[in-house]
Structure 1
Amino acid sequence: MPILPLPDTLINQIAAGEVVERPASVVKELIENALDAGARRVDIDLEEGGIRLIRIRDDGGGIAPEELPLAVSRHATSKIASLDDLEAVATLGFRGEALPSIASVSRFMLASRRPGDAHGAALRVEGSRVGEVAPKAHAPGTTVEVRDLFYNVPARRKFLRAERTELGHIEEWLRSLALARPDVELRVSHNGKPSRRYKPDQGASGDGGPDGAEAAARLGQTLGEDFARSALRIDHGGAGLRLHGWIAQPHYSRASADQQYLYVNGRAVRDRSVAHAVKLAYQDVLFHGRQPAYVLFLELDPTRVDVNVHPAKHEVRFRDARLIHDFVFRTLQEALAQTRAGADVAGAGTAMPPAGAATPVSGAGFGGGAGAWTAQPLGLRVDEAAAAYAALYASPASAAASGAPARADMPRPDATLPAGDGEVPPLGYAVAQLHGIYILAENAQGLVVVDMHAAHERIGYERLKAAHDGIGLRAQPLLVPLSLAVGERDADLAEREAATLAELGFDVTRSGPQALAVRSVPALLAHADPEALLRDVLADLREHGATRRVAAARDELLSTMACHGAVRANRRLTIPEMNALLRDMEATERSGQCNHGRPTWARFSLGEIDRWFLRGR
């Protein structure tokens, strides 16, 4: 068959196969054009999940009548004009392929009016056949109407899913957009009925994500109130990078990765390196098999990121992938380290009680803390018993002044606590031990229940990590060097990353085109499988440009040591011992979860307990 140029219709339909996967792809491309045009309100009208109709109306800058035919021609755009523009793209769209591609597989209409024009204009396209520009009454802005998607490409149309499924994909993308642009109002209708409205936040910056007080409404509207209450605010900059947004506390985790949103310079993307960095940051605090939830905005110089690597612009490529991976990991790791037990009680962040705790009730509390107590002996005089029971519902300072009898098993809490006069620590004061497993404590909000083994395990684990971090990773020389057969790519990588491997405790040299000689390994892991560990390290360096395999293996060993050293069930603790454990929890990083990601504590507000017993009804 001779080489022949393809017809324009077929060229556009091939391009549509890359850009237009389903109705959600059309909605994405059209709304991104609206945002690039400065729209502050976008109306989305759908029929049959977008298969029969997609109509996008905006209040943006509009298109001149004479430019309408150019808008539906291939590789025509107002967003870039040179290679320099392409290397520093600041708009969501830039290829100039979306409109002609969509028009080639639908019955298409484009109408627009600029704010200063007397009237608007419209252009119809059907299967790549472009009509004439005609005058049309139109408000300032642009309307794009896409009917009967894939009507002329039956092979593509039969792969579309049910109406509910296609609508779900559109709603998910709109949810992602709503998180990124809280300054824009989005109104959605389906089959003639209003289905969703995202109200604009008047104070939102519009520069790549919601900020401050405006965040709560949009977060709750898109991801639910539970996420909004458990979210930790992140905002950190350095090395020309800025990472801001929200990460959910470990107790709020998901069975799937359905609440993971990443934006690079305002563009929603998927990136394996950043996802890996987030996963590593949560590694120490998330229960096995659970997924973290987050909404993160990464901002950097547009010249340091290539957004032109995917036809649908879902992926990007970073010039400094290792730096960005490390920046994201360390930022989130430091934030999660502050998730100490009781931190939300003390007023840090907008945290929610750990899993199993009741929803906090505003204003519920004693007004002061209560001292520790035990059952009263029968031999107390009436006045002593009255003073003792009065002390139970008083603050520590007033309890001490009340003359309650002092006993060895009923110490005054302020004798062992660093809190100031009358101040109740976040986890409160121990009052009893339940079945030798749980510590029951009373704080200003209500009841605190602590899993003593899980809490003690985390405390010991963090202390072991801190001790080993202080001395660094030591290398242990091998009596006989280990010969390791690897692929040529891994041999090249090991030679190139010799300094990085040395920092991890490995002394590795290349002994042949496909062979490595290992002369030392990390001392703490000398009895593990150094060959498998080194292969995993090389795989991480190759795929993500960074690795924590050695640290993870070390942490796993330290975790096991901490578990064996933690207090066991059925061990009876004294009140001072329980209070000491509570204070250690408040001071220990990540103490809200044990080493395996299980919660270490739960809180029940006084209002919740009142509802158990129908008080006040």
Structure 2
Amino acid sequence: MSSIHVLSDLLINQIAAGEVVERPASALKELLENSLDSGATEIEVRLMQGGIKLLQVADNGGGIARDELPLAVARHATSKINSLEDLEQVGSLGFRGEALASIAAVSRLTLTSRQASEKHAWQIFLESGAMSEPQPAALAAGTTIEVNDLYFNTPARRKFLKTEATEFAHCDEMFKRIALSRPETAFTLMHNGKAQRALRSAQGNPRQRIAAILGDEFAQASVVVDEQSSGLRLWGLAGLPTYSKGTRDAQYVFVNGRFVRDKLISHALRESYQDVLHHGRHPAFVLFLELDPQGVDVNVHPTKIEVRFRDGRAIHQFLYHALNKSLAGSKAGEVAMPINHETAVSRPYAPQPPVFTHQTQMGLGVAQPQGFYQTMFGNNSSVKSVAVAGETIQYEQEIPPLGFALGQLHGIYILAQNVKGLIVVDMHAAHERVVYEQLKTALDAHAIAAQPLLIPVTFNADKLDVVTVEENADTLTELGFDMAALSPVALAVRAVPAMLKDADAAQLARDVLKDIREFGASRVLTERRNELLSTMACHGSVRANRTLTIPEMNALLREMEVTERSGQCNHGRPTWFQLTVSELDKMFMRGQ
């Protein structure tokens, strides 16, 4: 074994580069963060061959003084912290002071910079640890860093790089993260001489930047999040459950402007969507968490992508409740959910105002008298009116978001007409969500009303079910049940929750007892609460092939409009779709 010796500065930097500069995208991240820390408002990125041949970042920031250029590329040299106290409340993106030294150790690097007070810029060259003297150069303002031939002197490392297309894809993803974190900064991305992205400053309008990167479809199919509590703030856009993805590639979380991937944050956000997202799907969101820098430790990982919170439990609870509240505010009809994402063609003729008609000849469900809507809304001097089959029907309210029911299709779907066109509602899924939310509200208030049965329902049960009833009488009462043992193998249901009075009492009781027996009463009323109430709601919702009257259909539509999360059923599937008149016109090629 050789004797112990001190490593050379070049080798130290090359080792550090293995951690900090994994690929061109890693170097791009460090350079972009330095530009933002310098106060840049315009940043231009130029890449060649996915960033392997050339990676150039030019900004209009504060620049670097001539005498400080050698320090800028020295290891552990920085202007961002001076003491341990500064490290404990880092407000900048960079602070380690090793990024440029590591990049310069594995590339041919040119650094050109000019401060506003200087007559001209100064430039230095670095290759394999050797640095030139500062030389005069031409530059309008700010700093330009050019990285050529990444890993040219470490071929073992370079062979692990992927194809040009793959490396550019990683660079583009890194560019998007940084651009999302600073909407007020203008960014440009060039690859092989071609413009890939040109993002103007979105000062005061972060939604514009988010739409420019993730697309208008995401911006339109999302809810605004902006919640504050105890020095914490969460803001941004959260995609509706109907905009879910098969992968997690549209999830962006920033802590004090820094993109992070944190297990605690991911768990809290995933739990927020649990009640509305279909299994196997992933939500999309761009969220910004702001807190006192002293409450988060960013000095956890060399790439600074991981953080550690001083009070993780408080952060988790805040994130969960903040996002859950924002998602809960989305009721059916508030956000349009198109049946497809194609842009409808414009019609060469002016659209006519909506006319609500009633058709009795089609046999879609149960026919309803034309005077029904007038009866529902009554007569009033301040009412508005709408034409129905040749006569004027008056109503007090605006036309509801989900419109009025036209009929029923195959005993499964409700067809309704609103201002935009046709609404299609899965009546079982929609009613299931309505009942589920009502049960949650009632249980939270300890007010689930019991409905005594005129004739108790008896059924055979195994001994464990009987014991469960005897040992959990209080829990069953809180859930709205009154059960009693008739024998060691028989139970009687004397009362059920009033909201579920039409359900199969015996099967409902079996399912509830199964959950209590399997998980215990305390877990059923806490962490398993939603699963239990979802099961109960399924028993109490209308079934397929049940014929509804028009008043019943309209009653369900009105319930959906005031029920939280009613755009999705308890399993995360959509409960309704909007088909606009423009989309119908396109299907029938009207105006073409």
User: Same fold, TM exceeding 0.5?
Assistant: yes
Relative distance call for 1:398 and 1:4 in structure 2 (3 A) is closer
Query: Which residue in 2 is equivalent to 1:332?
Result: 323
Counterpart among 423, 438, 444 of residue 469 in structure 1: 444
Q: Is the 2:357–2:389 Cα contact (8 Å) retained in structure 1? A: no
Secondary structure class of the residue paired with 1:155: helix
Counterpart among 357, 360, 369 of residue 374 in structure 1: 360
Q: State the alpha-carbon separation in 2 of the partners of residues 330 and 44 from structure 1.
A: 39
Query: Which residue in 2 is equivalent to 1:347?
Result: none
Relative distance call for 1:550 and 1:279 in structure 2 (3 A) is farther
Query: Which residue in 1 is equivalent to 2:226?
Result: 235
Q: Output one character per residue of 1:58-86: Cα deviation in whole Å (capped at 9) or x when no partner.
A: 11111111111111111111111111111
Output aligned runs, 1:36-435, within 5 Å. 36-201=37-202, 204=203, 211=204, 214-344=205-335, 352-353=336-337, 356=340, 367-368=353-354, 370=356, 372-375=358-361, 397-399=385-387, 420-421=395-396, 423-435=398-410
Query: Which residue in 1 is equivalent to 2:377?
Result: none
Q: State the alpha-carbon separation in 1 of the partners of residues 208 and 362 from structure 2.
A: 50
Secondary structure class of the residue paired with 2:112: strand
Q: Is the 1:366–1:444 Cα contact (8 Å) retained in structure 2? A: no
Q: State the alpha-carbon separation in 1 of the partners of residues 64 and 353 from structure 2.
A: 63
Q: Is the 1:61–1:141 Cα contact (8 Å) retained in structure 2? A: yes
Query: Which residue in 1 is equivalent to 2:547?
Result: 572
Instruction: Kindly provide the amino acid, as one letter, of the partner of residue 450 in structure 1.
Output: V
Q: Establish whether residue 561 from structure 1 lines up as the match of residue 536 from structure 2.
A: yes
Measured after TM superposition, the shift of residue 193 of structure 1 is 2.4
Relative distance call for 1:582 and 1:83 in structure 2 (3 A) is same
Q: Is the 2:345–2:586 Cα contact (8 Å) retained in structure 1? A: no
Q: Establish whether residue 436 from structure 1 lines up as the match of residue 427 from structure 2.
A: no
Q: Output one character per residue of 1:342-394: Cα deviation in whole Å (capped at 9) or x when no partner.
A: 123xxxxxxx41555876789997535515442299xxxxxxx9999xxxxxx
Query: Which residue in 2 is equivalent to 1:526?
Result: 516
Relative distance call for 1:361 and 1:220 in structure 2 (3 A) is farther
Q: Establish whether residue 20 from structure 1 lines up as the match of residue 21 from structure 2.
A: yes
Q: Is the 2:276–2:568 Cα contact (8 Å) retained in structure 1? A: yes
Secondary structure class of the residue paired with 1:528: helix
Instruction: Kindly provide the amino acid, as one letter, of the partner of residue 173 in structure 2.
Output: E
**What runs of 5+ residues in structure 2 fail to find an aligned partner?**
364-368, 373-382, 449-467, 473-511
Instruction: Kindly provide the amino acid, as one letter, of the partner of residue 119 in structure 1.
Output: H
Q: Output one character per residue of 1:150-199: Cα deviation in whole Å (capped at 9) or x when no partner.
A: 11111110100000000000101111122121221211211222222112
Instruction: Kindly provide the amino acid, as one letter, of the partner of residue 126 in structure 2.
Output: V
Q: Is the 2:111–2:123 Cα contact (8 Å) retained in structure 1? A: yes
Q: State the alpha-carbon separation in 2 of the partners of residues 362 and 242 from structure 1.
A: 41
Instruction: Kindly provide the amino acid, as one letter, of the partner of residue 259 in structure 2.
Output: A
Relative distance call for 1:62 and 1:357 in structure 2 (3 A) is closer
Q: Is the 1:39–1:59 Cα contact (8 Å) retained in structure 2? A: yes
Q: State the alpha-carbon separation in 2 of the partners of residues 324 and 175 from structure 1.
A: 26
Q: Is the 2:17–2:105 Cα contact (8 Å) retained in structure 1? A: yes
Measured after TM superposition, the shift of residue 610 of structure 1 is 2.0
Q: Output one character per residue of 1:371-427: Cα deviation in whole Å (capped at 9) or x when no partner.
A: 5442299xxxxxxx9999xxxxxx9845589669xxxxxxx8x7xxxxx52621111
Output aligned runs, 1:486-505, within 5 Å. none
Secondary structure class of the residue paired with 1:471: coil
Measured after TM superposition, the shift of residue 217 of structure 1 is 3.0
Relative distance call for 1:357 and 1:603 in structure 2 (3 A) is farther
Q: Output one character per residue of 1:25-45: Cα deviation in whole Å (capped at 9) or x when no partner.
A: 111101111111111111111
Instruction: Kindly provide the amino acid, as one letter, of the partner of residue 196 in structure 2.
Output: S
Instruction: Kindly provide the amino acid, as one letter, of the partner of residue 356 in structure 2.
Output: A
Instruction: Kindly provide the amino acid, as one letter, of the partner of residue 264 in structure 1.
Output: V
Measured after TM superposition, the shift of residue 523 of structure 1 is 9.7
Q: Is the 1:65–1:133 Cα contact (8 Å) retained in structure 2? A: yes
Q: Output one character per residue of 1:191-232: Cα deviation in whole Å (capped at 9) or x when no partner.
A: 22222211222xx1xxxxxx4xx2343222100111011121
Instruction: Kindly provide the amino acid, as one letter, of the partner of residue 99 in structure 2.
Output: A
Query: Which residue in 2 is equivalent to 1:487?
Result: none
Secondary structure class of the residue paired with 2:561: helix
Shifted more, 60-69 versus 459-468: the winner is: 459-468
Relative distance call for 1:365 and 1:463 in structure 2 (3 A) is farther
Secondary structure class of the residue paired with 1:432: strand
Secondary structure class of the residue paired with 1:55: strand
Q: Is the 1:369–1:396 Cα contact (8 Å) retained in structure 2? A: no
Q: State the alpha-carbon separation in 1 of the partners of residues 244 and 110 from structure 2.
A: 44
Output aligned runs, 1:592-603, within 5 Å. 592-603=567-578
Q: State the alpha-carbon separation in 1 of the partners of residues 371 and 283 from structure 2.
A: 50
Q: State the alpha-carbon separation in 2 of the partners of residues 28 and 358 from structure 1.
A: 35
Q: Output one character per residue of 1:315-344: Cα deviation in whole Å (capped at 9) or x when no partner.
A: 111101111110010011111112211123
Instruction: Kindly provide the amino acid, as one letter, of the partner of residue 303 in structure 1.
Output: Q
Q: Is the 1:592–1:601 Cα contact (8 Å) retained in structure 2? A: yes
Q: State the alpha-carbon separation in 1 of the partners of residues 166 and 302 from structure 2.
A: 23
Instruction: Kindly provide the amino acid, as one letter, of the partner of residue 290 in structure 2.
Output: E
Secondary structure class of the residue paired with 1:526: helix
TM-score normalised by L of structure 1:
0.78
Measured after TM superposition, the shift of residue 613 of structure 1 is 2.1
**Percent identity at matched positions?**
52
Measured after TM superposition, the shift of residue 611 of structure 1 is 2.1
Secondary structure class of the residue paired with 2:528: helix
Post-superposition, which runs of at least 4 consecutive aligned residues in structure 1 deviate over 6 A?
Answer: 360-365, 385-388, 476-480
Q: State the alpha-carbon separation in 2 of the partners of residues 403 and 4 from structure 1.
A: 98
Q: State the alpha-carbon separation in 1 of the partners of residues 346 and 533 from structure 2.
A: 40
Q: State the alpha-carbon separation in 2 of the partners of residues 222 and 76 from structure 1.
A: 34
Relative distance call for 1:88 and 1:436 in structure 2 (3 A) is same
Relative distance call for 1:141 and 1:478 in structure 2 (3 A) is farther
Instruction: Kindly provide the amino acid, as one letter, of the partner of residue 283 in structure 2.
Output: P
Q: Output one character per residue of 1:577-602: Cα deviation in whole Å (capped at 9) or x when no partner.
A: 11111111111111101111110001
Q: State the alpha-carbon separation in 1 of the partners of residues 370 and 18 from structure 2.
A: 82
Over aligned residues, Cα RMSD in angstroms?
Answer: 3.0
Q: State the alpha-carbon separation in 2 of the partners of residues 355 and 306 from structure 1.
A: 45
Instruction: Kindly provide the amino acid, as one letter, of the partner of residue 572 in structure 1.
Output: T
Paired positions, count: 516
Q: State the alpha-carbon separation in 2 of the partners of residues 446 and 550 from structure 1.
A: 42
Instruction: Kindly provide the amino acid, as one letter, of the partner of residue 177 in structure 1.
Output: I
TM-score normalised by L of structure 2:
0.81
Q: Is the 1:372–1:429 Cα contact (8 Å) retained in structure 2? A: no
Q: State the alpha-carbon separation in 2 of the partners of residues 455 and 429 from structure 1.
A: 15
Instruction: Kindly provide the amino acid, as one letter, of the partner of residue 353 in structure 1.
Output: M
Q: State the alpha-carbon separation in 2 of the partners of residues 162 and 248 from structure 1.
A: 33
Query: Which residue in 1 is equivalent to 2:582?
Result: 607
Relative distance call for 1:429 and 1:96 in structure 2 (3 A) is same
Relative distance call for 1:36 and 1:217 in structure 2 (3 A) is same
